[in-house]
Chain A
Amino acid sequence: MSATIISAIRALGRLVLRALAGLGQVVLFAGSTLTHIVRPPFYPREFFSALMNVGYLSLPVVGLTAIFTGAALALQIYSGGSRFNAPEVVPQIVAIGMVRELGPVLVGLMIAARVTSSIAAELATMKVTEQIDALVTLSTAPLKYLVMPRVLAGILAGAILVAVADSIGIFGGFAVATQILGFNSTTYILNTINFLTGEDIISSLAKGAAFGFIATLMGCYFGLNSGRGAQGVGAATKSSVQAAAVLILTANLLLTAVFFTA
Protein backbone atom coordinates (compact mmCIF):
# COMPACT_ATOMS: atom_id res chain seq x y z
CA MET A 1 0.00 0.00 0.00
CA SER A 2 1.46 3.32 -0.98
CA ALA A 3 2.37 5.98 1.55
CA THR A 4 -0.24 8.32 0.08
CA ILE A 5 -3.07 5.88 0.75
CA ILE A 6 -1.85 5.24 4.29
CA SER A 7 -1.66 8.95 5.05
CA ALA A 8 -5.13 9.46 3.56
CA ILE A 9 -6.51 6.69 5.80
CA ARG A 10 -4.74 8.23 8.80
CA ALA A 11 -6.23 11.63 8.02
CA LEU A 12 -9.67 10.07 7.68
CA GLY A 13 -9.19 8.25 10.98
CA ARG A 14 -8.17 11.47 12.73
CA LEU A 15 -11.21 13.21 11.28
CA VAL A 16 -13.56 10.46 12.48
CA LEU A 17 -11.98 10.42 15.94
CA ARG A 18 -12.25 14.19 16.21
CA ALA A 19 -15.89 14.07 15.12
CA LEU A 20 -16.66 11.33 17.65
CA ALA A 21 -14.87 13.23 20.42
CA GLY A 22 -16.85 16.36 19.53
CA LEU A 23 -20.10 14.40 19.52
CA GLY A 24 -19.20 12.91 22.90
CA GLN A 25 -18.60 16.37 24.34
CA VAL A 26 -21.92 17.62 22.97
CA VAL A 27 -23.73 14.61 24.48
CA LEU A 28 -22.09 15.25 27.87
CA PHE A 29 -22.98 18.93 27.63
CA ALA A 30 -26.59 18.06 26.76
CA GLY A 31 -26.69 15.61 29.68
CA SER A 32 -25.40 18.20 32.15
CA THR A 33 -27.91 20.74 30.85
CA LEU A 34 -30.82 18.33 31.20
CA THR A 35 -29.87 17.40 34.76
CA HIS A 36 -30.05 21.10 35.68
CA ILE A 37 -33.67 21.33 34.51
CA VAL A 38 -34.91 19.71 37.71
CA ARG A 39 -32.38 21.21 40.14
CA PRO A 40 -32.75 24.69 41.64
CA PRO A 41 -32.00 27.56 41.45
CA PHE A 42 -34.23 28.48 38.53
CA TYR A 43 -34.08 31.73 36.62
CA PRO A 44 -37.61 32.53 35.35
CA ARG A 45 -36.66 36.01 34.14
CA GLU A 46 -33.89 34.61 31.95
CA PHE A 47 -36.26 31.90 30.70
CA PHE A 48 -38.97 34.38 29.64
CA SER A 49 -36.38 36.65 28.06
CA ALA A 50 -35.04 33.69 26.05
CA LEU A 51 -38.59 32.63 25.16
CA MET A 52 -39.20 36.10 23.79
CA ASN A 53 -36.02 35.96 21.72
CA VAL A 54 -36.35 32.39 20.47
CA GLY A 55 -40.11 32.31 20.03
CA TYR A 56 -41.86 35.64 19.70
CA LEU A 57 -39.15 37.41 17.73
CA SER A 58 -38.86 34.44 15.35
CA LEU A 59 -42.54 34.64 14.43
CA PRO A 60 -42.18 37.05 11.45
CA VAL A 61 -39.49 35.04 9.68
CA VAL A 62 -41.18 31.72 10.45
CA GLY A 63 -44.56 33.05 9.32
CA LEU A 64 -43.21 34.42 6.04
CA THR A 65 -41.27 31.25 5.30
CA ALA A 66 -44.29 29.09 6.03
CA ILE A 67 -46.82 31.06 4.01
CA PHE A 68 -44.66 31.18 0.90
CA THR A 69 -43.75 27.51 1.21
CA GLY A 70 -47.37 26.46 1.70
CA ALA A 71 -48.44 28.55 -1.29
CA ALA A 72 -45.67 27.19 -3.53
CA LEU A 73 -46.44 23.67 -2.37
CA ALA A 74 -50.08 24.05 -3.44
CA LEU A 75 -49.00 25.20 -6.92
CA GLN A 76 -46.51 22.32 -7.25
CA ILE A 77 -48.97 19.66 -6.11
CA TYR A 78 -51.67 21.02 -8.39
CA SER A 79 -49.26 20.97 -11.33
CA GLY A 80 -47.82 17.54 -10.45
CA GLY A 81 -51.21 16.04 -9.58
CA SER A 82 -52.60 17.17 -12.95
CA ARG A 83 -50.12 14.85 -14.68
CA PHE A 84 -52.02 11.84 -13.39
CA ASN A 85 -55.44 13.47 -13.22
CA ALA A 86 -55.42 14.01 -9.47
CA PRO A 87 -55.17 17.78 -8.92
CA GLU A 88 -57.82 17.54 -6.18
CA VAL A 89 -55.26 16.10 -3.71
CA VAL A 90 -53.85 19.58 -3.07
CA PRO A 91 -55.44 20.09 0.41
CA GLN A 92 -54.36 16.69 1.71
CA ILE A 93 -50.80 16.85 0.41
CA VAL A 94 -50.28 20.44 1.51
CA ALA A 95 -51.51 19.50 4.98
CA ILE A 96 -49.42 16.38 5.32
CA GLY A 97 -46.37 18.00 3.71
CA MET A 98 -46.48 21.03 5.97
CA VAL A 99 -47.34 19.23 9.19
CA ARG A 100 -45.15 16.18 8.88
CA GLU A 101 -42.08 17.64 7.18
CA LEU A 102 -41.86 21.20 5.96
CA GLY A 103 -43.23 22.99 9.02
CA PRO A 104 -40.85 21.40 11.53
CA VAL A 105 -37.81 21.43 9.24
CA LEU A 106 -38.29 25.03 8.15
CA VAL A 107 -38.80 26.15 11.74
CA GLY A 108 -35.72 24.20 12.82
CA LEU A 109 -33.56 25.74 10.13
CA MET A 110 -34.95 29.24 10.73
CA ILE A 111 -34.21 28.92 14.47
CA ALA A 112 -30.73 27.65 13.60
CA ALA A 113 -30.12 30.65 11.36
CA ARG A 114 -31.61 33.27 13.65
CA VAL A 115 -31.27 32.00 17.20
CA THR A 116 -28.35 29.55 17.22
CA SER A 117 -26.07 32.14 15.66
CA SER A 118 -27.14 34.90 18.04
CA ILE A 119 -26.79 32.70 21.14
CA ALA A 120 -23.36 31.47 20.03
CA ALA A 121 -22.14 35.00 19.28
CA GLU A 122 -23.51 36.36 22.57
CA LEU A 123 -22.03 33.64 24.77
CA ALA A 124 -18.73 33.61 22.87
CA THR A 125 -18.43 37.37 23.36
CA MET A 126 -19.23 36.92 27.04
CA LYS A 127 -16.49 34.33 27.21
CA VAL A 128 -13.78 36.42 25.55
CA THR A 129 -14.66 39.44 27.70
CA GLU A 130 -14.45 37.28 30.87
CA GLN A 131 -18.15 37.74 31.66
CA ILE A 132 -18.53 33.97 32.00
CA ASP A 133 -15.66 33.90 34.52
CA ALA A 134 -17.29 36.84 36.31
CA LEU A 135 -20.54 34.87 36.56
CA VAL A 136 -18.69 31.98 38.17
CA THR A 137 -16.95 34.22 40.69
CA LEU A 138 -20.37 35.66 41.55
CA SER A 139 -21.46 32.14 42.55
CA THR A 140 -23.64 31.62 39.48
CA ALA A 141 -23.28 28.52 37.31
CA PRO A 142 -23.23 29.49 33.60
CA LEU A 143 -24.91 26.20 32.70
CA LYS A 144 -27.82 27.04 34.93
CA TYR A 145 -28.03 30.78 34.34
CA LEU A 146 -27.21 30.98 30.63
CA VAL A 147 -27.76 27.56 29.08
CA MET A 148 -30.77 26.03 30.79
CA PRO A 149 -33.18 28.97 30.28
CA ARG A 150 -32.24 29.17 26.59
CA VAL A 151 -32.58 25.44 25.99
CA LEU A 152 -35.92 25.23 27.83
CA ALA A 153 -37.15 28.21 25.84
CA GLY A 154 -35.92 26.51 22.65
CA ILE A 155 -37.92 23.35 23.42
CA LEU A 156 -41.13 25.23 24.16
CA ALA A 157 -40.76 27.84 21.43
CA GLY A 158 -39.82 25.17 18.86
CA ALA A 159 -43.12 23.35 19.43
CA ILE A 160 -45.16 26.57 19.39
CA LEU A 161 -43.43 27.90 16.27
CA VAL A 162 -44.06 24.64 14.45
CA ALA A 163 -47.77 24.85 15.32
CA VAL A 164 -47.78 28.40 13.94
CA ALA A 165 -45.77 27.44 10.82
CA ASP A 166 -48.04 24.47 10.11
CA SER A 167 -51.15 26.63 10.38
CA ILE A 168 -49.76 29.49 8.29
CA GLY A 169 -48.31 27.10 5.69
CA ILE A 170 -51.67 25.37 5.31
CA PHE A 171 -53.30 28.78 5.06
CA GLY A 172 -50.81 29.72 2.29
CA GLY A 173 -51.85 26.60 0.35
CA PHE A 174 -55.51 27.36 1.03
CA ALA A 175 -55.17 30.94 -0.25
CA VAL A 176 -53.51 29.87 -3.50
CA ALA A 177 -55.86 26.94 -4.04
CA THR A 178 -59.04 28.93 -3.46
CA GLN A 179 -57.99 32.24 -5.04
CA ILE A 180 -55.95 30.99 -8.01
CA LEU A 181 -56.66 27.32 -8.60
CA GLY A 182 -60.42 27.50 -8.17
CA PHE A 183 -60.89 25.19 -5.16
CA ASN A 184 -63.98 25.51 -3.01
CA SER A 185 -62.94 26.91 0.35
CA THR A 186 -65.27 24.75 2.50
CA THR A 187 -64.25 21.57 0.74
CA TYR A 188 -60.59 22.51 1.06
CA ILE A 189 -60.87 23.06 4.81
CA LEU A 190 -62.87 19.87 5.34
CA ASN A 191 -60.38 17.82 3.30
CA THR A 192 -57.52 19.24 5.32
CA ILE A 193 -59.15 18.58 8.70
CA ASN A 194 -60.34 15.12 7.80
CA PHE A 195 -57.02 14.04 6.40
CA LEU A 196 -54.74 15.06 9.26
CA THR A 197 -54.43 12.65 12.19
CA GLY A 198 -53.49 13.27 15.80
CA GLU A 199 -50.25 11.41 15.17
CA ASP A 200 -49.33 13.87 12.41
CA ILE A 201 -49.79 16.81 14.75
CA ILE A 202 -47.99 15.19 17.70
CA SER A 203 -45.03 14.22 15.52
CA SER A 204 -44.88 17.77 14.18
CA LEU A 205 -44.83 19.35 17.63
CA ALA A 206 -42.34 16.77 18.93
CA LYS A 207 -40.03 17.54 16.02
CA GLY A 208 -40.36 21.26 16.73
CA ALA A 209 -39.43 20.73 20.38
CA ALA A 210 -36.49 18.51 19.42
CA PHE A 211 -35.22 20.98 16.81
CA GLY A 212 -35.59 23.88 19.25
CA PHE A 213 -33.55 21.89 21.75
CA ILE A 214 -30.82 21.14 19.20
CA ALA A 215 -30.66 24.71 17.89
CA THR A 216 -30.33 26.36 21.30
CA LEU A 217 -28.03 23.68 22.68
CA MET A 218 -25.63 24.11 19.75
CA GLY A 219 -25.61 27.88 20.21
CA CYS A 220 -24.78 27.48 23.89
CA TYR A 221 -22.21 24.73 23.38
CA PHE A 222 -20.20 26.52 20.72
CA GLY A 223 -20.56 29.88 22.46
CA LEU A 224 -19.19 28.59 25.76
CA ASN A 225 -16.39 26.69 24.03
CA SER A 226 -15.30 29.46 21.67
CA GLY A 227 -11.71 30.40 20.99
CA ARG A 228 -10.14 33.75 21.79
CA GLY A 229 -10.79 37.09 20.16
CA ALA A 230 -13.04 38.14 17.31
CA GLN A 231 -11.90 35.17 15.24
CA GLY A 232 -12.98 32.80 18.01
CA VAL A 233 -16.42 34.42 18.18
CA GLY A 234 -16.80 34.19 14.38
CA ALA A 235 -15.72 30.56 14.28
CA ALA A 236 -18.06 29.63 17.15
CA THR A 237 -20.99 31.29 15.41
CA LYS A 238 -20.30 29.57 12.09
CA SER A 239 -19.74 26.15 13.64
CA SER A 240 -22.86 26.40 15.78
CA VAL A 241 -25.13 27.07 12.78
CA GLN A 242 -23.51 24.31 10.70
CA ALA A 243 -23.78 21.78 13.51
CA ALA A 244 -27.36 22.77 14.34
CA ALA A 245 -28.49 22.52 10.70
CA VAL A 246 -26.87 19.11 10.18
CA LEU A 247 -28.15 17.73 13.49
CA ILE A 248 -31.68 19.04 12.82
CA LEU A 249 -31.82 17.34 9.42
CA THR A 250 -30.39 14.13 10.90
CA ALA A 251 -32.84 14.22 13.80
CA ASN A 252 -35.65 14.85 11.33
CA LEU A 253 -34.86 11.62 9.51
CA LEU A 254 -34.62 9.66 12.75
CA LEU A 255 -37.86 11.08 14.16
CA THR A 256 -39.69 10.48 10.89
CA ALA A 257 -38.51 6.88 10.99
CA VAL A 258 -39.63 6.54 14.61
CA PHE A 259 -43.06 8.07 14.05
CA PHE A 260 -44.02 6.73 10.66
CA THR A 261 -42.25 3.44 10.02
CA ALA A 262 -42.67 1.73 13.37
Chain B
Amino acid sequence: MIKFDNIHKSFGANQVLRGVDLTLERGQSMVIIGGSGTGKSVLIKTVLGLITPEIGKIYVDGQDVTQAKRDNFLSQFGMLFQGGALFDSMPVWQNVAFRLQRGHLKRPKAEAREIAIEKLRRVGLAPDVADRLPAELSGGMQKRVSLARAIAAEPEIIFFDEPTTGLDPIMSRVINELIREIVVEMGVTAMTITHDMTSVQTIADKVAMLHGGVIQWCGTRDDMAHSGDPHVDQFVHGRAKGPIETLC
Protein backbone atom coordinates (compact mmCIF):
# COMPACT_ATOMS: atom_id res chain seq x y z
CA MET B 1 0.00 0.00 0.00
CA ILE B 2 1.17 3.53 -0.77
CA LYS B 3 -0.16 6.31 1.41
CA PHE B 4 0.52 10.01 0.86
CA ASP B 5 -0.13 11.94 4.05
CA ASN B 6 -0.45 15.73 3.81
CA ILE B 7 2.31 16.23 1.21
CA HIS B 8 3.46 19.81 0.64
CA LYS B 9 6.08 20.88 -1.88
CA SER B 10 7.08 24.31 -3.21
CA PHE B 11 9.57 25.46 -5.80
CA GLY B 12 10.51 29.00 -4.81
CA ALA B 13 7.28 30.97 -4.54
CA ASN B 14 5.35 28.34 -6.48
CA GLN B 15 3.53 26.06 -4.04
CA VAL B 16 2.83 22.98 -6.15
CA LEU B 17 1.51 20.49 -3.60
CA ARG B 18 -0.59 21.89 -0.74
CA GLY B 19 -1.51 18.87 1.31
CA VAL B 20 -1.98 15.78 -0.84
CA ASP B 21 -3.69 12.86 0.88
CA LEU B 22 -4.03 9.74 -1.19
CA THR B 23 -4.03 5.98 -0.65
CA LEU B 24 -3.27 3.31 -3.20
CA GLU B 25 -3.96 -0.30 -2.26
CA ARG B 26 -1.72 -3.24 -3.21
CA GLY B 27 -2.40 -4.60 -6.69
CA GLN B 28 -4.41 -1.55 -7.65
CA SER B 29 -3.80 0.55 -10.76
CA MET B 30 -4.36 4.20 -10.05
CA VAL B 31 -4.23 6.95 -12.64
CA ILE B 32 -3.63 10.53 -11.59
CA ILE B 33 -5.06 13.14 -13.91
CA GLY B 34 -4.76 16.90 -13.83
CA GLY B 35 -3.65 19.86 -15.89
CA SER B 36 -0.08 20.58 -16.88
CA GLY B 37 2.06 21.93 -14.05
CA THR B 38 -0.26 20.75 -11.29
CA GLY B 39 2.46 18.62 -9.68
CA LYS B 40 1.57 15.11 -10.85
CA SER B 41 5.16 14.19 -11.71
CA VAL B 42 6.34 15.88 -8.51
CA LEU B 43 4.05 13.57 -6.55
CA ILE B 44 5.57 10.45 -8.09
CA LYS B 45 9.09 11.78 -7.60
CA THR B 46 8.43 12.27 -3.89
CA VAL B 47 7.80 8.53 -3.51
CA LEU B 48 10.98 7.70 -5.38
CA GLY B 49 13.03 10.07 -3.23
CA LEU B 50 13.93 12.25 -6.20
CA ILE B 51 12.13 15.19 -4.58
CA THR B 52 11.80 15.67 -0.84
CA PRO B 53 8.49 17.07 0.40
CA GLU B 54 8.67 19.96 2.86
CA ILE B 55 5.81 18.62 4.95
CA GLY B 56 4.12 15.24 5.02
CA LYS B 57 4.95 11.58 4.98
CA ILE B 58 4.76 8.83 2.38
CA TYR B 59 4.23 5.29 3.58
CA VAL B 60 4.96 2.22 1.46
CA ASP B 61 3.65 -0.86 3.22
CA GLY B 62 3.69 1.08 6.48
CA GLN B 63 7.29 2.30 6.14
CA ASP B 64 7.84 6.06 5.89
CA VAL B 65 10.00 6.39 2.79
CA THR B 66 10.68 10.10 3.39
CA GLN B 67 12.77 9.04 6.41
CA ALA B 68 14.13 5.72 5.14
CA LYS B 69 17.43 5.19 3.35
CA ARG B 70 16.57 5.35 -0.35
CA ASP B 71 18.51 2.22 -1.31
CA ASN B 72 16.38 0.17 1.07
CA PHE B 73 13.15 0.64 -0.83
CA LEU B 74 14.06 1.57 -4.42
CA SER B 75 14.54 -2.03 -5.52
CA GLN B 76 10.77 -2.65 -5.22
CA PHE B 77 10.01 0.22 -7.64
CA GLY B 78 10.04 0.42 -11.42
CA MET B 79 9.61 3.65 -13.32
CA LEU B 80 8.76 4.56 -16.90
CA PHE B 81 9.82 8.14 -17.54
CA GLN B 82 7.95 10.53 -19.79
CA GLY B 83 10.79 10.84 -22.32
CA GLY B 84 12.00 7.28 -21.84
CA ALA B 85 15.19 8.45 -20.07
CA LEU B 86 17.16 5.66 -21.72
CA PHE B 87 20.93 5.83 -21.31
CA ASP B 88 22.00 6.87 -24.78
CA SER B 89 25.59 5.69 -24.34
CA MET B 90 24.66 2.04 -23.96
CA PRO B 91 22.81 -0.46 -26.16
CA VAL B 92 19.19 -1.35 -25.56
CA TRP B 93 19.82 -4.63 -23.74
CA GLN B 94 22.17 -2.95 -21.25
CA ASN B 95 19.51 -0.32 -20.61
CA VAL B 96 16.94 -2.99 -19.90
CA ALA B 97 19.30 -5.09 -17.79
CA PHE B 98 20.87 -2.11 -16.00
CA ARG B 99 19.62 -3.11 -12.57
CA LEU B 100 20.52 -6.74 -13.19
CA GLN B 101 24.17 -5.87 -13.72
CA ARG B 102 24.68 -4.05 -10.44
CA GLY B 103 24.09 -4.32 -6.72
CA HIS B 104 22.34 -7.20 -5.00
CA LEU B 105 20.30 -8.07 -8.11
CA LYS B 106 23.48 -8.62 -10.16
CA ARG B 107 23.41 -11.59 -12.53
CA PRO B 108 26.06 -13.00 -14.86
CA LYS B 109 26.26 -10.99 -18.10
CA ALA B 110 24.79 -13.72 -20.32
CA GLU B 111 21.85 -14.25 -17.97
CA ALA B 112 21.20 -10.50 -17.69
CA ARG B 113 21.19 -10.24 -21.47
CA GLU B 114 18.83 -13.19 -21.77
CA ILE B 115 16.40 -11.61 -19.30
CA ALA B 116 16.64 -8.29 -21.18
CA ILE B 117 15.77 -10.01 -24.47
CA GLU B 118 12.88 -11.82 -22.82
CA LYS B 119 11.53 -8.52 -21.47
CA LEU B 120 11.98 -6.90 -24.87
CA ARG B 121 9.93 -9.70 -26.39
CA ARG B 122 7.31 -9.16 -23.69
CA VAL B 123 6.89 -5.55 -24.79
CA GLY B 124 6.71 -6.56 -28.45
CA LEU B 125 10.27 -5.87 -29.59
CA ALA B 126 12.37 -8.28 -31.63
CA PRO B 127 15.64 -9.57 -30.12
CA ASP B 128 17.67 -7.81 -32.82
CA VAL B 129 16.77 -4.48 -31.18
CA ALA B 130 18.91 -5.50 -28.20
CA ASP B 131 22.20 -4.35 -29.66
CA ARG B 132 20.95 -1.07 -31.10
CA LEU B 133 21.44 2.28 -29.41
CA PRO B 134 18.35 4.12 -28.12
CA ALA B 135 18.92 6.96 -30.61
CA GLU B 136 18.38 4.47 -33.45
CA LEU B 137 14.84 3.68 -32.27
CA SER B 138 11.52 5.42 -32.89
CA GLY B 139 9.64 7.13 -30.05
CA GLY B 140 7.27 4.20 -29.66
CA MET B 141 10.12 1.69 -29.55
CA GLN B 142 11.93 3.81 -26.96
CA LYS B 143 8.80 3.78 -24.78
CA ARG B 144 8.66 0.01 -25.08
CA VAL B 145 12.32 -0.30 -24.12
CA SER B 146 11.70 1.97 -21.17
CA LEU B 147 8.77 -0.23 -20.18
CA ALA B 148 10.96 -3.32 -20.49
CA ARG B 149 13.53 -1.66 -18.22
CA ALA B 150 10.84 -0.78 -15.70
CA ILE B 151 9.73 -4.42 -15.41
CA ALA B 152 13.14 -6.10 -15.83
CA ALA B 153 13.80 -6.57 -12.12
CA GLU B 154 10.18 -7.58 -11.51
CA PRO B 155 9.30 -4.73 -9.14
CA GLU B 156 6.23 -4.73 -6.93
CA ILE B 157 5.25 -1.15 -7.70
CA ILE B 158 5.56 0.57 -11.08
CA PHE B 159 5.17 4.26 -11.85
CA PHE B 160 4.29 5.43 -15.35
CA ASP B 161 4.89 9.11 -16.08
CA GLU B 162 2.90 10.20 -19.15
CA PRO B 163 3.42 6.87 -20.94
CA THR B 164 1.74 7.95 -24.18
CA THR B 165 3.06 11.51 -24.54
CA GLY B 166 4.47 12.14 -27.99
CA LEU B 167 3.03 8.97 -29.53
CA ASP B 168 0.51 8.66 -32.32
CA PRO B 169 -3.00 7.37 -31.37
CA ILE B 170 -2.33 3.82 -32.54
CA MET B 171 0.96 3.54 -30.68
CA SER B 172 -0.67 5.16 -27.64
CA ARG B 173 -3.30 2.44 -27.62
CA VAL B 174 -0.66 -0.26 -28.02
CA ILE B 175 1.33 1.11 -25.06
CA ASN B 176 -1.79 1.51 -22.92
CA GLU B 177 -2.85 -2.07 -23.58
CA LEU B 178 0.67 -3.29 -22.93
CA ILE B 179 0.75 -1.50 -19.60
CA ARG B 180 -2.63 -2.95 -18.62
CA GLU B 181 -1.56 -6.47 -19.59
CA ILE B 182 1.70 -6.20 -17.67
CA VAL B 183 0.04 -4.75 -14.58
CA VAL B 184 -2.53 -7.57 -14.53
CA GLU B 185 -0.07 -10.30 -15.43
CA MET B 186 2.57 -9.29 -12.86
CA GLY B 187 -0.01 -8.35 -10.24
CA VAL B 188 1.85 -5.15 -9.49
CA THR B 189 0.65 -1.93 -7.92
CA ALA B 190 0.72 0.81 -10.56
CA MET B 191 0.50 4.56 -10.46
CA THR B 192 0.18 6.35 -13.78
CA ILE B 193 0.20 10.02 -14.60
CA THR B 194 -1.52 11.09 -17.75
CA HIS B 195 -3.60 13.68 -19.57
CA ASP B 196 -4.76 11.05 -21.98
CA MET B 197 -8.32 9.91 -21.23
CA THR B 198 -7.86 6.81 -23.40
CA SER B 199 -5.06 5.79 -21.05
CA VAL B 200 -7.37 6.33 -18.10
CA GLN B 201 -10.02 4.09 -19.63
CA THR B 202 -7.52 1.35 -20.43
CA ILE B 203 -5.23 1.39 -17.41
CA ALA B 204 -7.15 2.65 -14.39
CA ASP B 205 -8.89 0.83 -11.57
CA LYS B 206 -9.00 4.08 -9.65
CA VAL B 207 -8.64 7.67 -10.76
CA ALA B 208 -7.51 10.68 -8.72
CA MET B 209 -7.57 14.25 -9.94
CA LEU B 210 -4.87 16.62 -8.72
CA HIS B 211 -5.89 20.26 -8.85
CA GLY B 212 -4.76 23.29 -6.88
CA GLY B 213 -2.14 21.23 -5.07
CA VAL B 214 -4.64 18.81 -3.51
CA ILE B 215 -6.57 15.71 -4.59
CA GLN B 216 -9.72 17.27 -5.97
CA TRP B 217 -11.52 13.99 -6.52
CA CYS B 218 -10.77 10.29 -6.19
CA GLY B 219 -12.92 7.36 -7.23
CA THR B 220 -13.19 4.36 -9.48
CA ARG B 221 -12.89 4.65 -13.24
CA ASP B 222 -16.61 3.95 -13.64
CA ASP B 223 -17.52 6.61 -11.06
CA MET B 224 -15.58 9.23 -12.98
CA ALA B 225 -18.28 9.70 -15.63
CA HIS B 226 -20.76 10.80 -12.95
CA SER B 227 -18.41 12.21 -10.35
CA GLY B 228 -20.49 15.33 -9.82
CA ASP B 229 -17.27 17.32 -9.58
CA PRO B 230 -17.17 20.17 -12.13
CA HIS B 231 -13.35 20.05 -12.29
CA VAL B 232 -13.39 16.36 -13.20
CA ASP B 233 -16.20 16.92 -15.70
CA GLN B 234 -14.35 19.75 -17.40
CA PHE B 235 -11.11 17.78 -17.58
CA VAL B 236 -12.67 14.53 -18.77
CA HIS B 237 -14.63 16.27 -21.51
CA GLY B 238 -11.81 18.66 -22.39
CA ARG B 239 -13.94 21.77 -22.07
CA ALA B 240 -12.21 25.13 -22.29
CA LYS B 241 -14.79 26.72 -19.97
CA GLY B 242 -15.27 25.65 -16.39
CA PRO B 243 -13.75 25.96 -12.94
CA ILE B 244 -10.23 25.04 -14.17
CA GLU B 245 -8.43 28.20 -15.26
CA THR B 246 -7.10 27.88 -18.80
CA LEU B 247 -5.20 31.17 -18.85
CA CYS B 248 -1.50 30.86 -18.12
Contacts and interface: CB of A to CB of B under 8 A. Distances in A.
Nearest to A139: B74
Contacts of B45: 133
Contact of B50 (A133, A138, A140): A133
B83 interface: yes
Contact of B82 (A130, A131, A136, A139): A130
B81 A130 contact: yes
Contacts of B83: 129-130
Given A41-B102, A139-B102, A140-B102, A134 B48 contact: no
Interface residues on B, range: 20 to 34
B103 interface: yes
B77 interface: yes
B81 A134 contact: yes
A130 B85 contact: yes
Nearest to A134: B85
Interface in A123-139: 126, 129-131, 133-139
Contacts, number: 50
A130 B44 CA distance: 14
A149 to B, nearest CB: 13
B75 A139 contact: yes
A36 to B, nearest CB: 14
B48 A138 contact: no
A139 B70 CA distance: 8
A136 B48 contact: yes
A131 B146 CA distance: 11
A97 B81 CA distance: 53
Contacts of A131: 85-88
Interface in A106-152: 126, 129-131, 133-140
A135 B74 CA distance: 11
B20 interface: no
Interface in B84-101: 85-88, 98-99
Given A41-B103, A129-B88, A136-B49, 5 more contacts: A131-B87, A133-B45, A134-B86, A139-B99, A140-B102
